[in-house]
Structure 1
Amino acid sequence: MFPERFSNLPAYAFPRLRSLLDSHEPGGDVVHMTIGEPKHTFPDWVSQIIADNVAGFNRYPPNDGTPELQQAIADWVKRRFDVALDPATQVMALNGTREGLYNAAMALCPETKNGEPPLILLPNPFYQVYMVASISVGAEPYFCAATAETGFLPDYASLPEEVLKRVAIAYICSPSNPQGAVANKAYLTKLIALAEQYDFKIFADECYSEIYRGSAPDGTLAVATEMGADPERVLIFHSLSKRSNLPGLRSGFVAGGPECLKRIKQLRAYAGAPLPLPLQRAAEKVWADEAHVKENRRLYAEKFEIADKIFADIPGYTSPVAGFFLWLPVDDGETAALKLWKETGVRVLPGAYLSKDSNGDNPGKAYIRVALVAPKNNVEAALKTIRACLYE
């Protein structure tokens, strides 16, 4: 028997997309713009570091990360956010951020909140692991629309008090996937104050924080530190997947208060999958280097400028501030994705597949998500194809 709480999970986005499209022939050469898998070049010296440390595959890796990797992460957090962390007690290496975003809920969500079943707040649209983590710990996922009217960020402060009293954890994604919105300091200050008032934790998914246009996004932990909030109030999650074009390296981290990290590390000792030692050695050096990150940002900025020229006059088009997706308005995302596929071969993701029906509405239904991960010339040609097919 399977647990009843998992019986009504919606299909994951990409199997659902295959069901929509794959019984139809593409209308041209296939162009994949669905998955946020970076295609820019990662630093060429990464391969050599792995080769130099290949003997490490003969050893069990340290669960929490090598001391050198923990220090490299703490050093990066200090440079990037001006927050000082104890690498031994406030940092843990992750096998990609998805692991951490799930297991942090497993380790930290209480069984009750103020005598009632706990709620976990999620933006809607959302990264699927937030919902599954909530269900796995016996909490109720509470979806809060992140729409154009709310700046594509969830307005948790507007929730009723009876809801907020039950909240144990709030997930926030900034820069947001899929919309590319950034939570500024004022937003984060308000959210942290709300968490302090109602005693819940904030899980800040910041894995797109290094792909931005203009000013660097504010960090949730930095704002909490400046406010003097409870040190256990905020956990941040980052990875090298987007920052450094290394999704296959599976190097991420969680950082926050020492008591929270102690509990997450305890769970990792039983159920975690630490990063292999040669990959940890590579990650130590990648977190320490910023030159390749600046070049990565430049390449994405060029593609966003192209997107702005192509879609600027489309009603409802919002130029993303960060990340590497377009969140394009359409009449219906599934209809648009199927039309694109059948007529052009361009493959995009319906926005409803990243969202949850709530109160009779799905905030992603009238959008498609388009990943700008391919080389500039390929992206430009594909965006022109999308424009011609869906908007002209």
Structure 2
Amino acid sequence: MNPLLSTLQPYPFERLRQLFAGVTPPASLPHISLGMGEPRHPTPAFIQEAMTANLGGLANYPATAGDIRLRQACADWMGRRYGVQLDAATQVLPVNGSREALFSFAQTVIDPTRAGATVICPNPFYQIYEGATLLAGATPYYAASEAGRNFAVNWDAVPDGVWAQTQLIFVCSPGNPTGAVMPLDEWKKLFELSDRYGFVIASDECYSEIYFRDDAPLGGLEAAKQLGRSDFRNLVAFTSLSKRSNVPGLRSGFVAGDAQLLKSFLLYRTYHGGAMSPTVQMASIAAWGDEAHVEDNRRMYREKFAAVTPLLADVMDVRLPDASFYLWAGVPAQLGMSDTEFARALFAEQHVTVLPGSYLARDAQGHNPGAGRVRMALVAETAECVDAARRIVQFIHSHSN
């Protein structure tokens, strides 16, 4: 067996199952899960129709590079959304969801034969970053997000010696679990560091279309263009239809950016077997070409967060995020509970699931930046999320007396 498999840590939801083992929640209360970030709004009918209308594609082997019509649809969307111009043939590549692409991209980029091969991850983070790093034979370095800076990563705290060994950095903006969006000055800092040390930037942007301000979140390629880096050197952006279009089961997204990096990524994927079904490609073309359903989806999230956030803000350290569908809430100090104790007791007493923040981060530089917080995914219908929030308020009041 590959010995690197033993370096992987249990996935957060496996740890959550272990945490809840032996707990019997009240049967009188229906279970409400705010734990998993799985979109639950209905899949738009026109996407389903586009898929069923193209079932003939199941009879064909797909090309790894994808249909040029899909690549052009992705490039056109990037132009409308971010104002960047891309060559669909060389700067865009369809992928089977951003999760698969983030993992396989690390296997393409990392050279484990170089001494001290390092990958920088935000902390807390999406665990695929860590798993991809470890299985590529590199060492993760965890750069902490700071509550006092709206959960922005403190890139200045990364030592020069770490930057010098870094081959790849994962950026997540809007962030999971914090919802923070990286501003232009931080992008400028990372680009300058990339130029100095030669590392690649993987920009995970799968939450980019769920936001609560008037201005849409800044994207990595958009930032590069604004800073005069229209060749997108050493930069690849990852995005997906899962959250944007409520099709997590479609497993469809794309990567875009540095043409030389994508040429190598395509070579890797040719052997890896990363081709997308022609049927899925046709449904994806339809999805990328329509914004009305995305606006409707965003409206539903805005209404939901407007109803839930004030309820929880009365009893927890929580505020409306910049973007994404998560609330990153602090466990009230007066309860005297850790984030894991809070999650277990809330499940036991109110039959509500939240994810402990410490499960989404690592102990690094002397602390776990996720400790004392919980992630709540507001993916259910508004009434269910409001019910969950009221139960959480009741739970906190009952333990504060």
TM-score range normalised by the length of the shorter chain:
over 0.9
- What is the CA distance between 1:277 and its match in structure 2? 1.0
Corresponding residue for residue 207 of structure 1: 206
Matched, 1:381 2:396: no
Q: Which moved more, 1:7-16 or 1:125-134?
A: 7-16
Corresponding residue for residue 243 of structure 2: 242
Deviations 1:262-300 (Å, cap 9, x if unpaired)? 000001100133221111101001001000000111110
- What is the CA distance between 1:26 and its match in structure 2? 1.5
- What is the CA distance between 1:136 and its match in structure 2? 1.4
Matched, 1:337 2:343: yes
- Within a 5 Å distance, the mapping from 1:316-355 to structure 2 comes to 316-330=317-331, 331-355=337-361
Match of 2:224, as an amino acid? A
- SS of equivalent to 2:156: helix
The root-mean-square deviation of aligned C-alpha atoms, in Å, is 1.5
Q: Which moved more, 1:20-29 or 1:372-381?
A: 20-29
Indicate how the Cα distance of structure 1 residues 148 and 233 shifts in structure 2: closer, same or farther if over 3 A, else same. Answer: same
User: Contact 2:33/2:352 (CA < 8 Å) preserved in 1?
Assistant: yes
Corresponding residue for residue 141 of structure 2: 142
Corresponding residue for residue 25 of structure 1: 24
TM-score normalised by L of structure 1: 0.96
- What is the CA distance between 1:138 and its match in structure 2? 1.3
Matched, 1:261 2:259: no
- Within a 5 Å distance, the mapping from 1:169-184 to structure 2 comes to 169-184=168-183
Match of 1:345, as an amino acid? H
- What is the CA distance between 1:206 and its match in structure 2? 0.3
Deviations 1:319-339 (Å, cap 9, x if unpaired)? 211100111111411101111
User: Contact 1:157/1:194 (CA < 8 Å) preserved in 2?
Assistant: no
Match of 2:75, as an amino acid? A
Q: How far apart are the structure 2 equivalents of 1:233 and 1:199?
A: 8
Deviations 1:36-57 (Å, cap 9, x if unpaired)? 1111122211121111111111
Q: How far apart are the structure 1 equivalents of 2:169 and 2:225?
A: 18
Q: How far apart are the structure 1 equivalents of 2:129 and 2:307?
A: 32
Q: How far apart are the structure 2 equivalents of 1:29 and 1:374?
A: 13
Deviations 1:294-349 (Å, cap 9, x if unpaired)? 01111101111112211233453232111001111114111011111110111111
Q: How far apart are the structure 2 equivalents of 1:150 and 1:140?
A: 26
Match of 1:312, as an amino acid? A
Match of 1:143, as an amino acid? Y
- SS of equivalent to 1:7: helix
User: Contact 1:170/1:202 (CA < 8 Å) preserved in 2?
Assistant: yes
Q: Which moved more, 1:186-195 or 1:277-286?
A: 186-195
- SS of equivalent to 1:165: helix
Give 4+ residue runs of structure 1 displaced > 4 Å after superposition: none
User: Contact 1:182/1:217 (CA < 8 Å) preserved in 2?
Assistant: yes
Q: How far apart are the structure 2 equivalents of 1:333 and 1:378?
A: 23
- What is the CA distance between 1:193 and its match in structure 2? 1.9
Aligned residues: 389
User: Contact 1:333/1:365 (CA < 8 Å) preserved in 2?
Assistant: yes
Match of 1:163, as an amino acid? V
TM-score normalised by L of structure 2: 0.93
Matched, 1:366 2:372: yes
- SS of equivalent to 2:62: coil
Q: How far apart are the structure 2 equivalents of 1:388 and 1:280?
A: 47
Deviations 1:217-264 (Å, cap 9, x if unpaired)? 011111112323363221100000001111001111111111100000
- SS of equivalent to 2:90: helix
Match of 1:356, as an amino acid? R
Q: How far apart are the structure 1 equivalents of 2:120 and 2:148?
A: 19
Q: How far apart are the structure 2 equivalents of 1:153 and 1:127?
A: 15
Match of 1:181, as an amino acid? A
Matched, 1:225 2:255: no
Match of 2:58, as an amino acid? F
- What is the CA distance between 1:197 and its match in structure 2? 2.2
User: Contact 2:311/2:390 (CA < 8 Å) preserved in 1?
Assistant: yes
Corresponding residue for residue 334 of structure 2: none
Q: Alignment identity in percent? A: 40
Match of 2:7, as an amino acid? N
* Structure 1: segments with no counterpart, 5+ residues: none
Match of 2:359, as an amino acid? Y
User: Contact 2:315/2:393 (CA < 8 Å) preserved in 1?
Assistant: no
- Within a 5 Å distance, the mapping from 1:154-173 to structure 2 comes to 154-173=153-172
Q: How far apart are the structure 2 equivalents of 1:308 and 1:103?
A: 36
Match of 2:85, as an amino acid? A
Match of 2:18, as an amino acid? S
- Within a 5 Å distance, the mapping from 1:91-170 to structure 2 comes to 91-111=92-112, 116-170=115-169
- What is the CA distance between 1:156 and its match in structure 2? 1.9
Q: How far apart are the structure 2 equivalents of 1:35 and 1:2?
A: 29
Q: Which moved more, 1:157-166 or 1:94-103?
A: 157-166
Q: How far apart are the structure 1 equivalents of 2:265 and 2:290?
A: 28
User: Contact 1:42/1:292 (CA < 8 Å) preserved in 2?
Assistant: no
Deviations 1:122-169 (Å, cap 9, x if unpaired)? 001111110011111211100011120342122223312111111111
Q: Which moved more, 1:239-248 or 1:265-274?
A: 265-274
- SS of equivalent to 1:238: strand
Indicate how the Cα distance of structure 1 residues 146 and 272 shifts in structure 2: closer, same or farther if over 3 A, else same. Answer: farther
Match of 2:24, as an amino acid? E
Q: How far apart are the structure 2 equivalents of 1:117 and 1:159?
A: 15
User: Contact 2:176/2:324 (CA < 8 Å) preserved in 1?
Assistant: yes
Q: How far apart are the structure 2 equivalents of 1:147 and 1:387?
A: 26
Match of 1:190, as an amino acid? K
Q: Which moved more, 1:381-390 or 1:228-237?
A: 228-237
Corresponding residue for residue 273 of structure 1: 274
Corresponding residue for residue 72 of structure 1: 73
- What is the CA distance between 1:112 and its match in structure 2? 5.3
